[in-house]
Amino acid sequence: MKTTLLYGKDNLSIQLPDNSFVVEPTNMAGLQDTNREITDALRNPIGTPPLKEMVKSSDTVAIAISDITRPTPNHILVPLLIEELNHVPLENFVIINGTGTHRDQTRDEFIQMLGEWVVDNIRIVNNQCHEKETLVNVGESSFGCDVYLNKDYVEADFKIVTGFIEPHFFAGFSGGPKGIMPGIAGIETIMTFHNARMIGDPLATWGNMVDNPVQDMTREINGMCKPDFMLNVTLNREKDITAVFAGELYEAHDRGCEFAKEHAMIKCEERFDVVITSNSGYPLDQNLYQAVKGMSAAHKIVKEGGAILVASECSDGLPSHGNYSKIFEMAESPEELLEMINNPEFKMFDQWQVQKQAVIQVWADVYVHSKLTDEQVTGAMLKPMPNIEDTLEELKKTYGEDMTVAVLPLGPLTIPYVEE
C-alpha cells in the first residue's frame, strides 16, 4: 500500500506493507467562507462582548502571534483583526512575534507569515527572552520563578493572542495561553516552565488538561496579565482552517481543545513493532528540534524495544541557534542525558526537548529521514535513514516477517493512544 507523509512543502510518498495500520483523523473540510466565519466569531465571541465593542479608538493594541515554526494562518487572522478594529489608528497596533527561545524572524519571513501589507503598515517586534530591558516583571509564579513578559504586550491597553489548537506533547494542547507563556516570556520564566520536573511529570502529556503542571503554569501566568481576547483556529492536513474559537481566553480555549481532542486523538488497540511518522510537514518540520514532536506522537503506540521512523525535512538544520545540539555533546547516551538533565543543578535552555527525545530513545530506536547529514543525525544520537522502504525491509530481520507497522502521515497533528 502507498501513503503520503507530510514532509517539507512537497510531501513524501512511501510504499508500506499491505497490513500497515494508518492512523489519521477523518480529514475535515476547510471552512466554506473563512473570512466570514472568522469575522462572525469576532462579532459573536465566546464569553466576551464583540471585539469591536471592547476596544476604544484611543487604545494601543498588542497582538501576540506564534513564530514561523507554527502553521498558524496569521496572514488571514491578523488582517481580519485589524479590519474589525478599523476605528483604531494603525500606529496604535503592535504585533509581537512569540519566539519563546527561538530565533528572530526576518522581514521576508514576516511577509510569509503576515502578508506584505501588515509588514509595511504595522509595527512588529520579535520577543527577546534574554533581554530584560524588553521585559516586565508581572508577578511571581507558584511554580517557583519570577514572571517576565514582553514589555510591549504588558503596556498595551488591549491585548489579543492568536494561535492554533492541536494536541501538544507536554502542555496537553497548544494554542490559547501558550501564545503568551512561553511565546512572549523571559528566559527565567521559560526555564522554570520547561524544567526537568515539569517535563518529566506523567500528567504533562498529549491531550491531558487535568492536573497537567505545564498547562496549569501557563494558565496561572496568563492570569497575571491576561489577554483581553483570544482568536484561535484548528487546521486540517492541508493547513486549511476547520473551526474558529474566539473570545475569553480560558473558555474559548477549552472549547477548542474539546473539538481538537474529538478529531485529532485516535485510539489504537495495541502497540506496534514499528511506527512511521512525519512531523506534519512545513513549517513544523523545519528542524530536528521540532521533530521531537513527531517522535513523541509515535512513542505513544510503539512497543518497548521497537523502532520509530521519522520523516522530517529539517531545512533549517538542527537548528544552529540554541543549545539543542550542544547538549548532546555533553553525554554519551540517552540514559546519561537523562541523568544529567534530571540533576536539579543542571539548567540549560532547550534541555526540555533533549529530555523528551532521550525518554523516547530509551524506549525505542529512532531513525530519521531528512536533509541533514549523517553526522548531524548521529550527533543527536539518532540513526540516519536515507530510504524508509529499505529501513523497513531491514527491520524485518529484527522483528520478523510478520512485524506490525503503524504510520502517522500527519505526524503530531494526529495523536494515537493505547489504553493500558
Domain ranges of the chain: 2-25+269-418, 34-263
The answer to whether 372 touches 318, Cβ cutoff 8 Å, is yes
Of 298, 304, 252, 247, whose CA–CA distance to 275 is shortest?
A: 298
Which segments within 336-391 are labelled E, that is strand?
365-369, 383-384
Whether the per-residue pLDDT at 28 is higher than 90: the answer is no
CB count within 10 Å of CB 258 equals 14
CB count within 10 Å of CB 203 equals 15
- The 8-class DSSP code of residue 46 comes to B
Catalytic residue among 168, 194, 263, 299: 168
The answer to whether 316 touches 106, Cβ cutoff 8 Å, is no
Whether the per-residue pLDDT at 134 is higher than 80: the answer is yes
- 369 among known catalytic residues: no
State how far the Cα of 367 lies from the Cα of 40, in Å rounded to an integer.
45
Q: For 158-178, how does the pLDDT look when each residue is reduced to its tens digit (9 = 90+)?
A: 999 999 999 999 999 999 999
Q: For 56-97, how does the pLDDT look when each residue is reduced to its tens digit (9 = 90+)?
A: 999 999 999 999 988 999 999 999 999 999 999 999 999 999
Question: CA angle at residue 62 from 66 to 222, to 5 degrees?
Answer: 65
| Residue 12 pLDDT | 96
Q: What is the mean pLDDT of the chain?
A: 95
Q: For 371-390, how does the pLDDT look when each residue is reduced to its tens digit (9 = 90+)?
A: 999 999 999 999 999 999 99
Whether the per-residue pLDDT at 271 is higher than 90: the answer is yes
The answer to whether 235 touches 31, Cβ cutoff 8 Å, is no
When pLDDT is cut at 50, 70 and 90, the band that residue 321 belongs to is confident
Of 243, 239, 300, whose CA–CA distance to 275 is shortest?
A: 300
- The 8-class DSSP code of residue 227 comes to -
The answer to whether 265 touches 300, Cβ cutoff 8 Å, is no
Q: Which CATH class is domain 34-263?
A: alpha beta
- 168 among known catalytic residues: yes
Q: Which CATH class is domain 2-25+269-418?
A: alpha beta
The answer to whether 381 touches 361, Cβ cutoff 8 Å, is yes
